[in-house]
Structure 1
Amino acid sequence: MIRKLFNKLVQHLSKKEFTILTGARQTGKSTLLNDLRKHCKRNGIPEIFINLENKMLLAELDANPLNLLAYLPNQEVKTIVFLDEIQYLSDPSNFLKLLFDEYNHLLKIVASGSSAFYIDSTFNDSLAGRKRIFNLFTFDFEEYLQLSGKEELWEEAARIKNQPHAKSLRLHELQLEWEGFMLYGGYPAVISEKSIPEKIEMLKEIRDSFIKRDIIESGVQNEVVFYRLFQLLASQTGQLVNINELSNTLQSRNETIQNYIGVMVKCFHISLIRPFYANLRKELVKMPKGYLLDAGLRNSLLNNFTPIHQRLDKGEIWEQAVFRLVVDKFGLDGIRFWRTADGKEIDFVLPDEHPPIAIEAKFDERMAKHKKYQLFTDTYADFQFQFACMQPWSEDFFRKYF
């Protein structure tokens, strides 16, 4: 199937800037590059595909970026150069900068990378105006249904969304699929497995084998502490990330904990969202909140695939799901949260939207009490405040959140 991001990447093929595709391992970046390559072939656009896991090619390009030019099929027409796993280059910044500055008339690079270690301040500064970064996350619910072979269910959800008073005979089916999505997440290899035990095993494989590659490549020295920290963050999703508390719990130095969290962020396993504040002295402005970027990975880290309604942490699972819905709709960069020193909190704040938006996640609508949030709504009257609730389940779920 074709990912939603595909059309944006196709549109960017004609731009002068290089295209950088990032995301966690096993989210489908290589498949997406191959889909773009097929698009080029169908439209007669010259292209080549280089996988930098090929050690000989990697050594050749590391020795001299200009060695790439010998592989171009035509020196008269601009070639799209697909580079898979660009993080393996010893100096991706200089590699891309040199080729852009001297040879952008001959080539356009479309590169993928499984971590953001190469996307540091140096990368962004040296390539300002020369690249655009696209993030590929695990599948969203629409893509989940399509890959599961249940396109007709998504068509039903879309019908509900677009018809304000529509009722559905398939609402229970949609609920079961949504709850499955909240349990097993959006990794394509997991979705493709038909049986529940195989889904769980595939998530364990991603958790243990593929994330271990991130650990090795990032130079993590204490694998046990890294995994224990990852499990702690998974259990505390939506809570403040308190470095001192984590350090004390794991009996590790603050610098180690900060470094390992940085690895998880750069490998797209967790996201830290920062507090929103204006002038209130009581607003807490220091610690971020942490969320995992895939629900299935979180449940695998906790080794808990109990159905949602039987879970003690169903509120956290729902808040995690709302976080991904917000990310998929608005992107990562603009998400904030609001919290005062005495504990009053709004889960998600989007100050840059027009109008600005504030969202509080509550699993059950009966827990949604507007009075608790009056300080925020009085202080920030221009914000559109809303509750995001999973229960009671109805057609309105798809009208509100998709």
Structure 2
Amino acid sequence: MGTMIYRIMTKRVIDSLKGGRVVGLFGPRRSGKTTLLEHIKKEKGGGVLMVHGENLDAAEALSSQRTSVLARFIGDKKYLFIDEAQKIHNIGTNLKLIVDTVPKVSVLVSGSSSFELRNKIGEPLVGRSIYYHLYPFSLEEVKTDVSEMNAKLEELLIYGLYPQVYLEATIDGKKTQLESIRDGYLLRDILELDKVKESTFIFNLLRLIAFQIGHDVSYSELASNLNVNKKTVMRYLDLLEKSYVIFSHSGYSRNLRKEFTKSPRFYFWDNGIRNSLIANYNRLNLRDDVGCLWENFCMAEREKLLANNSISANRYFWRTYDQKEIDLVEERGGKLYAFEFKYSKDNIHVPKDFIKSYPGSEFVVVNKNNYLEYLTGQKVPRRQVAP
């Protein structure tokens, strides 16, 4: 467990630490934010004051709204790091006071509850804050040589890339770690924010989503299955996105009347969490959902790749009413990059309607033979180019 995986985000966070600025680091619980803060603190030497938002002494000083108290608390430190900063009352206003009155100090705050922390620090610090997201390990961060990665691939598809799960040596240990995250951390921010004591409904909602990877999701159908109204389903899916459990894509449409865009598709940030929710850790040869696992894994890795490397792109799926579809369409730099995720197949052809409507787009099938090229930033898709 002592292995240290270098996080790609590290240099960007360090480079952003400047006097008079607040850097925010958001991401799911247990994704490694505290470890990254500790690493940066060690790199910076003795000039860092690092506190936790649940520490009562720190919370009292950092919620005081008194410049003398804040200045005395910081002392002669050049850096102030606050882990789980959303726990501190009026943290945004107090950070603004620090930036205004102690401009030599660089501030780094972390939070798993992005919807709470960003709301608290966003408005008071407009123009003086910058945000980053730290997700579970990415394939780009853990990659070694091809043969070793291929040997690990099945394990990654089943148990995912949460740091403590990936670094756990045994299969039983991985299961225990995943179930600890699922039961102890996964929904904590939502339950605290929404004052919900019963998590059964949310887990049932997530299980329904787990079986619909790669398919359009009907809010009305989910509501009917859960015996709640549509607005309740939409509210909790939104909260689950903001707490980094799932993410969604909408349908892409520009030219064709028969392009379908009404219903979104949802994916999990981590395969292991998805599998823990449905209690299925079976090997791939015993599963009927390998396609779902592969699509979710590839989709999450593309998201991490773009975020970790500051690549701006709009992400969609593409589907027509007559069931022609493409798993992922990235719109960046005025061009479309289309991806189809198939674990074993490589002879999938781009739909003719897509070629006709979007000439000049690029298309690739990502499978178990070429995934490292497209999920770790080694290559831009150029296999089947639309005329």
Shorter-chain TM-score tier: 0.7 to 0.9
1:363 counterpart SS class: coil
Output the CA distance in 1 between the equivalents of 2:295 and 2:321. 21
Using a 3 Å threshold, how does the CA distance of structure 1 residues 49 and 6 change in structure 2: closer, same or farther?
same
Are 2:109 and 1:105 aligned? Answer: no
Using a 3 Å threshold, how does the CA distance of structure 1 residues 320 and 131 change in structure 2: closer, same or farther?
same
Are 2:96 and 1:94 aligned? Answer: no
Structure 1 counterpart of 2:336, which letter?
Answer: P
Q: Deviations over 1:96-146 (max 9, x none)?
A: 33433x13623221000011122567854553321111100001235346x
Partner residue of 2:127? Answer: 129
Partner residue of 2:152? Answer: 177
Using a 3 Å threshold, how does the CA distance of structure 1 residues 207 and 40 change in structure 2: closer, same or farther?
same
Which moved further from structure 2: 328-337 or 78-87? 328-337
Output the CA distance in 1 between the equivalents of 2:120 and 2:259. 33
Q: 2:92, 2:120 within 8 Å by CA — same for their partners in 1?
A: yes
Q: CA deviation at 1:369?
A: 2.9
Partner residue of 1:216? Answer: 191
Partner residue of 2:321? Answer: 341
Which moved further from structure 2: 217-226 or 78-87? 217-226
1:265 counterpart SS class: helix
Partner residue of 1:29? Answer: 33
Using a 3 Å threshold, how does the CA distance of structure 1 residues 347 and 353 change in structure 2: closer, same or farther?
farther
Q: 1:144, 1:186 within 8 Å by CA — same for their partners in 2?
A: no
Q: CA deviation at 1:17?
A: 3.2
Where in structure 2 are the equivalents of 1:293-332 lying within 5 Å?
293-331=269-307
Using a 3 Å threshold, how does the CA distance of structure 1 residues 272 and 91 change in structure 2: closer, same or farther?
farther
Using a 3 Å threshold, how does the CA distance of structure 1 residues 95 and 345 change in structure 2: closer, same or farther?
farther
Which moved further from structure 2: 185-194 or 312-321? 185-194
Q: CA deviation at 1:215?
A: 3.6
Which moved further from structure 2: 328-337 or 128-137? 328-337
Q: CA deviation at 1:328?
A: 2.4
Q: CA deviation at 1:70?
A: 1.3
Using a 3 Å threshold, how does the CA distance of structure 1 residues 125 and 14 change in structure 2: closer, same or farther?
closer
Partner residue of 2:382? Answer: none
Partner residue of 1:69? Answer: 71
Using a 3 Å threshold, how does the CA distance of structure 1 residues 185 and 40 change in structure 2: closer, same or farther?
same
Structure 2 counterpart of 1:349, which letter?
Answer: V
Q: 2:71, 2:98 within 8 Å by CA — same for their partners in 1?
A: no
Output the CA distance in 1 between the equivalents of 2:198 and 2:78. 44
Q: 1:21, 1:112 within 8 Å by CA — same for their partners in 2?
A: yes
Output the CA distance in 2 between the equivalents of 1:122 and 1:86. 10
Partner residue of 2:214? Answer: 238
Output the CA distance in 1 between the equivalents of 2:367 and 2:236. 33
TM-score, length-scaled by structure 1: 0.84
Q: 2:139, 2:375 within 8 Å by CA — same for their partners in 1?
A: no
Of residues 351, 359, 374 in structure 1, which corresponds to 2:339?
A: 359
Q: Deviations over 1:241-299 (max 9, x none)?
A: 32111100100122221121122111101011222221322222332211000111111
Q: 1:141, 1:178 within 8 Å by CA — same for their partners in 2?
A: no
Output the CA distance in 1 between the equivalents of 2:188 and 2:326. 36
Partner residue of 2:362? Answer: 384
Aligned length: 366
Output the CA distance in 2 between the equivalents of 1:89 and 1:5. 25
Which moved further from structure 2: 284-293 or 333-342? 333-342
- Structure number having the greater helix percentage: 1
Q: CA deviation at 1:386?
A: 1.2
Output the CA distance in 1 between the equivalents of 2:256 and 2:94. 46
Of residues 14, 18, 31 in structure 2, which corresponds to 1:10?
A: 14
- Structure 2 unaligned regions, length at least 5: 377-387
Partner residue of 2:78? Answer: 79
- Structure 1 unaligned regions, length at least 5: 146-153, 158-170
1:360 counterpart SS class: strand
Output the CA distance in 2 between the equivalents of 1:179 and 1:65. 54
Q: CA deviation at 1:222?
A: 4.1
Of residues 349, 354, 357 in structure 2, which corresponds to 1:370?
A: 349
Output the CA distance in 2 between the equivalents of 1:123 and 1:53. 17
Q: 1:377, 1:385 within 8 Å by CA — same for their partners in 2?
A: no
RMSD: 2.3
Which moved further from structure 2: 214-223 or 25-34? 214-223
